[in-house]
């Protein structure tokens, strides 16, 4: 997954429009549009910092090449298989709700790590 795809996925997981991401990050919406479409190959470090801060993640987390998981990757992990199949069966609204809950869990984990 390239950086533009990663930004789009993170934005959509939060239910944000490009305009909302622009407000949260301080990056102009047309720049976000170009980034998501791969027209900006190497964004400035300052832009990466703003995006990472808006998403509540590190620059490393933002820029890492994420591997898409498949059912084959989950072979033998019954719980993970059930979760993934259940997620796929959800309507769009259900997926958004589950993504919101997952994001809340991530934030709770980060807060716990900072407090330790």
Question: What does the mean pLDDT of the chain come to?
Answer: 84
pTM of the model: 0.57
Q: Structural domain boundaries of the chain? A: 3-63, 71-115
Cα separation, 72 vs 34, whole angstroms:
34
pLDDT tens per residue, range 31-85: 999 999 999 988 999 999 999 999 988 888 888 754 445 556 566 777 777 777 7
3-63 has which fold? 434 Repressor (Amino-terminal Domain) (1.10.260)
Q: The dihedral of CA 108, 53, 88, 65: what is its sign? A: negative
């Amino acid at each position: 997954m390239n950086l533009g795809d990663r930004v789009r996925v993170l934005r959509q997981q939060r239910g944000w429009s490009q305009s909302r991401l622009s407000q949260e990050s301080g990056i102009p919406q047309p720049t976000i549009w170009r980034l998501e479409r791969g027209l900006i190959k190497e964004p400035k470090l300052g832009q990466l910092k703003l995006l990472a801060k808006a998403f509540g993640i590190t620059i490393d987390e933002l820029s890492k090449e994420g591997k898409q998981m498949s059912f084959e990757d989950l072979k033998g992990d019954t719980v993970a298989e059930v979760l993934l199949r259940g997620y796929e069966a959800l309507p769009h609204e259900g997926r958004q709700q589950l993504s919101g809950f997952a994001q809340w869990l991530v934030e709770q984990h980060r807060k716990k790590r900072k407090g330790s």
